[in-house]
Amino acid sequence: MQTITLEVQESVSEKFMCLLSHFKKDEIAIINNEWLDFLERLSISEKEVNEGKIKPFDLEDLTKNI
């Protein structure tokens, strides 16, 4: 699926969302900006781990030390 980022004026946002709601769930997904920001940070972190710039941690080890 292709991701497209749009800015929509408040005056048409309700109509635009209504238009999008006519598509099937497997045809379109609405992702908010917070989710896009999270995905971008996740991608950057994965790249840094792969390049050896940062070290991943084990969640089980982390919770044992709390």
Residue matched to tokens 């999008």: 20
The residue among 16, 41, 46 whose CA lies nearest residue 28 is 16
Is the confidence at residue 53, as pLDDT, over 90?
A: yes
pTM confidence score? 0.43
Is the confidence at residue 65, as pLDDT, over 80?
A: no
Cα distance from N-terminal residue to C-terminal residue, the chain: 40
State the pLDDT at residue 48: 93
Q: What is the DSSP letter of 25?
A: T
Is the confidence at residue 59, as pLDDT, over 90?
A: no
Q: Please check whether residue 20 is in contact with residue 30, taking contact to mean a CB–CB distance below 8 angstroms.
A: yes
